[in-house]
Chains A and B, each alone.
Chain A
Amino acid sequence: MDKLQIYGLVTGILFGVLLQRARVLRFEKQIGALLLRDMTIVKFMFSAILVGMVGIYALHDLGVVKLSIKPLILGGNIGGGLLFGFGWALLGFCPGTAGGAIGEGRWHALWGLAGMIAGAALYAELYPFMKRTVLTWGDYGKITIPQALGVSHWLVIPAFILAGLGLFWFLEKMKV
């Protein structure tokens, strides 16, 4: 294994530990969030996003790290995003958590993993077509929210932190 593969494996193991301990790997938590009954995964996700946001932008401004923004393509992001949601609700796992769920002994996630690999194979066949059609619809390029608003990211980040804390307060109040 080269150095990058070792970094990948170690990072994945640590992520798996945190996902497992916070119960985020569980089918019950994923479906619970989609039924608005148990928002564990939403709390986990937005806590990670807010901490990551402050750290990555601070290090970016210091010239230590580079950003890696995916393009905004409305056809792909919206069409594919909705399709992902439909499938996610049926399966109860996402690509990052299915493997961890199998690790926990929830071996029924194997069916979903097989389905994901088959879905990837079909997408590979249709990619040349998608590239000519859906992936040209509403292409705005690699754009961030601060760029779209024309303001400093240090104005947007505090707003996101406040919104996040408000969301957490609301979820705790609703006991979900």
Chain B
Amino acid sequence: MKLKTADGGWNPYLAGAMTGVLMILSVVVAGKYFEASTTMVRAAAMIEQKVAPEHVAKAEYYQKEKPIFDWQWLFVAGVFVGGLITSVAFGDFKLESVPPIWKERFGRRILPRAAVAFLGGFIALFGARLAGGCPSGHGLTGGLQLSVSGYVALICFFVGGLIVANLVYRKGARHG
């Protein structure tokens, strides 16, 4: 088995296995399983607090997921820091305004990409909260605990994703 892939990335099995060890350590040391999507709820509440603090104080969901910098908030912020440090250190940091697959299919204009990406993020997070988790919370964390909900959600993530990705990107990604 090769340690590097054709595009210079680390072997995904090895990096994945190391992530497995990291998840175990996180549960042992901090008592925390990997999850990410609740942080978006806390971030939304933090922004709303600036304009309508009494609304946030009354909203049931924001009382359940309070606007605080908890373990998960710092974890999500840490992924940004890790991505930045590593891409700079290994020389593959690149400012990119539009993803190449998108550019090939729909052109280089920023506004259409921004609109679709915003809509995508909007639907994805709404769905993740309704499902009770994202690929981290349901996929990794639910999957490793053999949770039924984790596998039901993970299958639905991929089914939904397969349908829309093939409708939207199939033509443009021929060389991607």
Contacts and interface: CB of A to CB of B under 8 A. Distances in A.
A85 B74 contact: no
A120 B41 contact: yes
B57 interface: no
B118 A69 contact: no
A80 B12 contact: no
A114 B82 contact: no
Contacts of A51: 16-17, 19-21, 24
A56 B145 contact: yes
A90 B24 CA distance: 32
A84 B118 contact: no
A5 B71 contact: yes
B101 to A, nearest CB: 6
A115 B123 CA distance: 8
B75 A15 contact: yes
Contacts of B10: 18, 21-22
Contacts of A107: 95-97
Interface of B: 5, 7, 9-34, 36-37, 39-41, 43-45, 47-48, 59-62, 64, 69-87, 90, 92-102, 110, 113-166, 168-170, 173, 176
B157 A12 contact: no
Contacts of B92: 104
Given A16-B81, A16-B82, A66-B31, 18 more contacts: A5-B69, A15-B19, A16-B85, A18-B15, A21-B15, A22-B12, A49-B139, A52-B144, A77-B138, A81-B131, A85-B159, A90-B123, A96-B135, A99-B76, A105-B95, A108-B99, A111-B121, A115-B117
Q: Sort chain A's interface into a size bin.
A: 35 or more
12 contacts: A15-B82, A25-B83, A70-B137, A77-B131, A85-B158, A89-B168, A91-B120, A99-B76, A103-B85, A108-B113, A120-B40, A124-B41
Given A13-B81, A120-B43, A55 B20 contact: yes
